[in-house]
Structure 1
Amino acid sequence: MPYVNGYPERNFAVFARDAQDTLTPNATQRTTLIVAACYIVAIAILWHLPYVSVIIYPFKLLTVGFHEMSHAFAGVLTCAHIHSVELDPDEGGATRMSGGIPWITLPAGYLGSSLIGAALIVCGFDTNASKIASLALAAFFLFTLWWARKSWVTWLLIFLMSGLIVLFWFVAGGVALRYFVLFIGVMSDMYVLWDVVDDTISRKVNGSDASAFAEICGCCPSQVWGVLWLIVAFGFFAASIIIGIVAFKQSAEQQKEDASHFLPVPGSSAAVQILPTTLSTTLLCFAATSAVLLRRW
């Protein structure tokens, strides 16, 4: 028997064949990839068109929210005090904090939002994973309201996104929710691409995260850090596609069957018994959170 590097040659052939089968998308995954590619083209077109860009305007604000909340979470992890998180109608944002470690909190905006986008893209390959992702988004919304409770734009944005999540949960047994989560993930990664290029490469913005990071680092201009962050963001995006293909090999029919038993659509036969408890618990949590936020406001 021929050997390669001390191992039987057939083992390498089997390994290569298994790897090829694992990395080859099935029909459902090919559809997901085609939809993601269409999202990229549509977002690229709508991003810069006047008037028509209003279609994706709420999602731009949401990606800004991912960016600012990544700053805030990095600040919390480095013992910073978060004063406020702001989103404004001009698609800008600001996280005001004191303390923390700037080496971590400054790059956390772009890197964190690209990581969030990559995680959502992975979940966009599977219906049940998208349901879990929507629950994680709900937790993210609550944290955002806690730190940005005085911003009416934030309240309006979160109520809009929450309404869309609930709406898409009902459509086609959660399939629409899967494509919605996929869209948010693609949008978040695309935002990192254009914002880094706009702020640090095509034109230098002195108030950008890269400029502030270059000042405290003192060794490289902001463009260098912008390129490095872009490389990391592309790495997250590529990894999300590979992980999605490897981890979620179920067909659309199998996903539909599993989704009917996991957090089923309200109103379905599988949800009749758990819906009252789930709905009442959700409303109670939301009411309690809103009361605390309004009291602190």
Structure 2
Amino acid sequence: MSDYLADQDREQRITLLVILGIGSIMLWNTQFGALLLYPFTILTTWFHEMGHGIATIFMGERFESLQIYPDGSGVAISEVSPSRNVLQDAIISAGGPIGPGLAGAALIASSRTLKGTRIALAVLGAALLVTSVIWVRGLTGWLVLPAMGLAILAIARQANPAQQRFAIQLLGVQAIISVWAQLGYLFTQGGTLDGRAQISDTGAIAEALLLPYWFWGIVLSAVNIALLWWSLRFAFRR
């Protein structure tokens, strides 16, 4: 009987996280929801642009700064060498959609143990504070990201274990679903940045690797769904 109740509780928690994730995607695409979730919008932008930045560093290039605009858009500014190849360009472009998925999966997986949960909360909170000093530019990022970092550190120190686990799982889900924060972005050749037209990540990958942008949109979506499925399965496995 206890095993049945435990399995039922796990299913309910997983269902709640999935519902909150889907609900967030729907809310992000409404005027009221965008206002309600504004701090999470800035957080998802941070996840996305840091993904580009870290991919840039891994490719041996220089990550200069991360600009966040009041409308929630952002850009990772990097200094890249003219001798870079198309594969490096594709990986840097894919870092935005894939980096948050990898980070989110790690956050969710960490919730398997209480120690892992607390470490993940501390690392994420500290990362928001440190990157705000080193790379983040713009008043919006300076106001929102450190505040969220401090809030996450407070949860790591003061919340009870159940609240800590739920918080890191929710943050992990938000990181993974950030790729769909703007419905259709993955399946267009371009988007907007601070009100200006700009090529999308999948458009940039398509330019580097030839296959159409919608193909890479499908691939990136599938990878993020797989990361979400694996991480939830790992975190809630008995």
SS state of the match for residue 40, structure 2? helix
Return closer, same or farther for 1:45/1:222 CA change in 2, 3 Å cut-off.
closer
Deviations 1:41-79 (A, max 9, x none): 431342222224322111111111111111111111221
Equivalent in 144, 147, 151 of residue 135 of structure 2: 147
Shift of 1:89: 1.4
Shift of 1:145: 2.8
- Structure 1 stretch 206-215 or stretch 63-72: which is displaced more? 206-215
Structure 2 equivalent of residue 180 of structure 1? 167
Provide the rounded CA distance (Å) in 2 between the counterparts of 1:131 and 1:146: 24
Q: Is the 8 A contact 1:118 1:236 kept in 2?
A: yes
Q: Within the alignment, does 1:95 sit opposite 2:72 as a pair?
A: no
Return closer, same or farther for 1:29/1:215 CA change in 2, 3 Å cut-off.
same
Return closer, same or farther for 1:98/1:166 CA change in 2, 3 Å cut-off.
closer
| Matched letter for residue 68 of structure 1 | E
Q: Is the 8 A contact 1:29 1:125 kept in 2?
A: no
Provide the rounded CA distance (Å) in 1 between the counterparts of 2:185 and 2:71: 15
| Matched letter for residue 201 of structure 2 | D
Q: Within the alignment, does 1:211 sit opposite 2:198 as a pair?
A: no
After TM superposition, the structure 1 = structure 2 runs for residues 40-79 of structure 1, keeping only pairs within 5 Å, are 40-79=21-60
| Matched letter for residue 222 of structure 1 | Y
Q: Within the alignment, does 1:128 sit opposite 2:115 as a pair?
A: yes
| Matched letter for residue 191 of structure 1 | S
Shift of 1:236: 0.8
| Matched letter for residue 104 of structure 2 | G
Identical-pair percentage: 23
Provide the rounded CA distance (Å) in 2 between the counterparts of 1:244 and 1:25: 14
| Matched letter for residue 188 of structure 1 | A
Q: Is the 8 A contact 2:67 2:76 kept in 1?
A: yes
SS state of the match for residue 211, structure 2? coil
Deviations 1:230-268 (A, max 9, x none): 11111111111221123xx4xxxxxxxxxxxxxxxxxxx
Q: Within the alignment, does 1:240 sit opposite 2:231 as a pair?
A: yes
SS state of the match for residue 199, structure 2? coil
Gaps of 5+ in 2: 191-197
Where relative contact order (Cα < 8 A, 6+ residues apart) is larger, the structure is 2
Q: Within the alignment, does 1:81 sit opposite 2:68 as a pair?
A: no
Q: Is the 8 A contact 1:121 1:186 kept in 2?
A: yes
Shift of 1:103: 2.7
Provide the rounded CA distance (Å) in 1 between the counterparts of 2:22 and 2:55: 32
Shift of 1:162: 2.2
Return closer, same or farther for 1:214/1:144 CA change in 2, 3 Å cut-off.
farther
Q: Within the alignment, does 1:231 sit opposite 2:216 as a pair?
A: no
Structure 1 equivalent of residue 178 of structure 2? 191
Deviations 1:65-102 (A, max 9, x none): 11111111111122111221111111111111122621
SS state of the match for residue 16, structure 2? helix
Provide the rounded CA distance (Å) in 1 between the counterparts of 2:30 and 2:65: 32
SS state of the match for residue 89, structure 1? coil
Larger Cα-atom Rg: 1
Shift of 1:27: 5.0
Give aligned pairs, total.
221
Return closer, same or farther for 1:204/1:138 CA change in 2, 3 Å cut-off.
same
Deviations 1:185-239 (A, max 9, x none): 11122221344x52232x441511111111122x211111111111111111111
